[in-house]
Structure 1
Amino acid sequence: MKTINKLVYAFLLITVSLLNAQLPGDVTPSNPGGGSTGGSGTGAPPLKSPIDMYVIGLGIIAIMLIVFFTKKYTAKKI
């Protein structure tokens, strides 16, 4: 029963985070002063964040940590 509850909570957490995600095209910069934006660019945020470069590495590290801690704690069952 506890495992099912954890899976349901994880599913809900992932679903809510995906539903609340904001796409780069949805961002509209506000200019309360009414004047220029102060820059020479378009005012749109960059499409890629710096963490995009490390997604594969972070995924591999996460899988390695999951395997390590799973083996560590299942080996100590008495």
Structure 2
Amino acid sequence: MKKTINKLVLAFFLIVVSLVNAAPPQPQAAPTGSGNGGNGTGAPAPIDMYVYILGIVAIAFIVYFTKKYKSVKA
């Protein structure tokens, strides 16, 4: 019971610290009028198209290895 409470408290503090240390978004700087007018097309990066798939794969790995560990432990 004590180990479970310790893990929950640790996870809570980790989330709180992450939220407190998050920086607010920075405003975009005004263009200076010289140069090539920008440094990109504004198109999403290739990994942006797969964020949801990567999240699902991560959850699947967590479930798989959790079940595998429990079956070995028992």
Q: Quick one: percent identity of the two aligned structures?
A: 57
CA displacement at 1:58 relative to structure 2 = 2.4
Residue 57 (structure 1) aligned with residue 68 (structure 2): no
When normalised by structure 1's length, the TM-score is 0.59
- SS of 2:23's equivalent in the other structure is coil
Cα distance between partner residues in 2 of 1:39 and 1:8: 51
Structure with bigger RCO (C-alpha 8 Å, 6+ apart): 1
Cα distance between partner residues in 2 of 1:28 and 1:77: 53
Q: Unaligned 5+ residue runs, structure 1? A: 30-35
1:14 aligns to what? 15
Instruction: Kindly provide the CA deviation profile for residues 5-63 of structure 1, in whole angstroms up to 9, marking residues without a partner as x.
Output: 11111111111111111132x3587xxxxxx996745xxxx8xx845443312221121
Structure 2 counterpart of 1:71: 67
Q: RMSD of the alignment, in Å?
A: 3.0
How many aligned positions are there? 68
